[in-house]
Structure 1
Amino acid sequence: MDHSGHGTSTDLPPFTLERGLELSPEPFFLVGSLLALALYGWGVVRLVRRGDAWPVGRTVFFVVGVLTVLVAMCTKLNDYGMVMFSVHMVQHMIISMVSPILLLLGAPVTLALRALPVAGRGRTGPRELLLALLHSRYMKVVTHPVFTIPIFIASLYGLYFTPLFDTLMGSKVGHIGMMVHFLAVGLVFFWPIMGVDPGPHRPGYVMRMLELFAGMPFHAFFGIALMMASSPMVEAYENPPASLGIDVLADQSAAGGIAWAFSEIPSVLVLIALVYQWYRSDQRQARRTDRAADRDGDKELAAYNAYLASLHARGERRPAGR
């Protein structure tokens, strides 16, 4: 069976980073990425023309997120990934753990809700459909940790350690479908954790950190299992082309190392983002409290001082020895 789906895998020269980053556009991901950039750009332009601000940082995050998808899927990494487990694992980790975080930091849902026009009374437009989807029972289920954590884990163990992976790798459609699945799983896993866009499941900051760390050890265990295996674990990579000059077990061990190391990268990225959001949230709360104090002459503090004074007075009135 030709696992390449491209027809070029049998004569690939040995892998180097330069060769891996040569352009080799995958039409589905190329068109999808360009469409995502065009829609996001339309939203930003619409807001700016209206006189509204949109943080430049969010635009940068989204564009870089789309670029990571293009690097994973529209370069020779995609060709080498068909015949080298280690390169495929780089693709998988980028598209399931790096791209989703960057795309979500771009807040595309918030942008859409602000940029899309409100339909007339009794009419349903794209904005109304998006709101209905956000509030749907389906979204409540797919963004809940009871769903997201198991599917995040199953995407590793249920795919690579069963015949499903070989079946999907056997066709171009199957391979694209698998990559789309990785991206989608990453998005629904990190969406509630990042908390930039509105969503049905919005836990507090401590719960978000717990959700993040609940999934990551399984990535590390998966990587270690590959590194320690004494025989090939995935049939699709058992017979690499001789032109690559690679050892199957060494390549599998490298794939395991990549899976293990990558579990740390998103943890650090998300943790930095969460701490920053938490800090910003506290700052906003402090500013709101200060503004409220300026408006009402700090009624809350005055009330608290009065409460302390009443406790003190009550203590003085109480007879000694009681």
Structure 2
Amino acid sequence: MDHDHMHMDGSALPPVHWYQLLGHWRLEGGWLLACVLLAAVYLLGVGLARRRGHESVGPLRAGWWLLGLTLTYVTVASGIGIYGEVLFWVHMIEHLALVMVIPTLLALGSPLRVLRASLREPARFDRAVRTPVLRVLGHPGFGFAAYAVVIVATHLTGFMDAMMTSPGLVLVERLLYLVGGWLLLVHLVGVEPLPARLSTGMRLFFSVVMMTPDTVVGIVLLQTGTNLFPAMDAMRPAWAGTGLDAALQDLHTGGALMWAAGDSLMMFVSVGLIVRLISDPQRDRLLGTWLDSARAGTFEQRAGATADADIDDSDDALAAYNQMLGRLDRGH
């Protein structure tokens, strides 16, 4: 997506100040088109869902989705993306936005819930997410592992320097951050109709555990005495300093940001989950929707193909399930 500008000579940029991170812009037409299309498809899905009588996604969730897409474009097209090519600490700001802030907003937008509600036959969605491949991809364990691997692989290997010689890897990195972050955050803050969903208590537990990758990588970067990314260091403009000391200062600042800001962002998620747990202590407290998954599967098997397969967490769905159990009990 618009990589003809990549790997500019850092000396062409003026000395960085905070206001310049939002004061420098480039078009990034590919990202702009992608964000506009995703916004349009989402809003179309919301419209179709409402026409079919589903009100599961309100204006607030749509607002989260649109805000997430807006911040995606701002991150890659503003000075954050531009200076992030020549200064590691600015790149870390971009990284934190793409892997934590934006995925949180997108997960709050519940795109899978919109997709399901927009379909004429929601049962098709239910069957799809229960296929072996999608069961694995949608499992919390896979999301947590994917996030950890992305964080480690892009910072403690030669990946960062490889981006300096292969512009296409910049796109790969950004997509890895967005997807890896979403695969984690959808299980912590999302309310998607996936077979395996965590209780609020388990979400809180894993939100604390998943601070570990950012903490470990941040400490490694903060304490290193080696220039880990010489190819990126070669892009550093003269006004940002030269030599090993300047390179280490850049790395240490980036590491401190990852450790402090990364853990702080995850802590916000944890606080939100604590508030949810306190305000609604019985909701999914112990078993989450693992039990609901079993209920939905049993209902589909017993009720047959003629039953409404639109199983959700509503009182109507629970009442239908209880009626089915009553009929089975009377049959014995």
TM-score by length of 2: 0.74
Q: Secondary structure at the match of 1:31?
A: helix
Distance change (3 Å), C-alpha of 1:146 and 1:235 = farther
Q: Secondary structure at the match of 1:160?
A: coil
Matched residue, 1:262: 261
Aligned mate of 2:166, from 142, 147, 171 = 171
Distance change (3 Å), C-alpha of 1:235 and 1:6 = closer
Q: Secondary structure at the match of 1:63?
A: helix
1:19 CA displacement: 2.1
Aligned mate of 1:152, from 127, 143, 147 = 147
1:269 CA displacement: 3.1
Matched residue, 1:318: none
Q: Secondary structure at the match of 1:263?
A: helix
Matched residue, 1:312: none
Matched residue, 1:5: 6
Distance change (3 Å), C-alpha of 1:136 and 1:52 = closer
Query: Does residue 103 of the first structure (1) align with residue 106 of the second (2)?
Result: yes
1:204 CA displacement: 1.8
Q: Secondary structure at the match of 2:273?
A: helix
Q: Secondary structure at the match of 2:69?
A: helix
Who wins on radius of gyration, i.e. which is larger?
1
**Contact persistence 2:52–2:118 (CA under 8 A):** no
For 1:112 and 1:151, the matched residues in 2 are separated by 24
For 2:119 and 2:275, the matched residues in 1 are separated by 29
Matched residue, 1:205: 200
Aligned mate of 1:59, from 54, 57, 62 = 62
How many pairs are equivalent? 279
Cα deviations by residue, 1:162-197 (Å, 9 ceiling, x for unpaired) = 223322342221110111011111111122222411
1:94 CA displacement: 0.7
TM-score by length of 1: 0.76
Q: Kindly provide the amino acid, as one letter, of the partner of residue 183 in structure 1.
A: L
Aligned mate of 1:42, from 35, 41, 44 = 44
**Contact persistence 2:99–2:178 (CA under 8 A):** yes
Matched residue, 1:80: 83
**5 Å matches for 1:1-322?**
5=6, 7=8, 9-21=10-22, 22-49=24-51, 52-53=54-55, 54-118=57-121, 130-246=125-241, 247-278=246-277, 279-280=279-280, 282=282
For 1:135 and 1:283, the matched residues in 2 are separated by 24
> Which is worse superposed, 239-248 or 175-184?
239-248
Cα deviations by residue, 1:42-99 (Å, 9 ceiling, x for unpaired) = 2233344556534221112111111221121121221211111011111111101111
Distance change (3 Å), C-alpha of 1:48 and 1:280 = farther
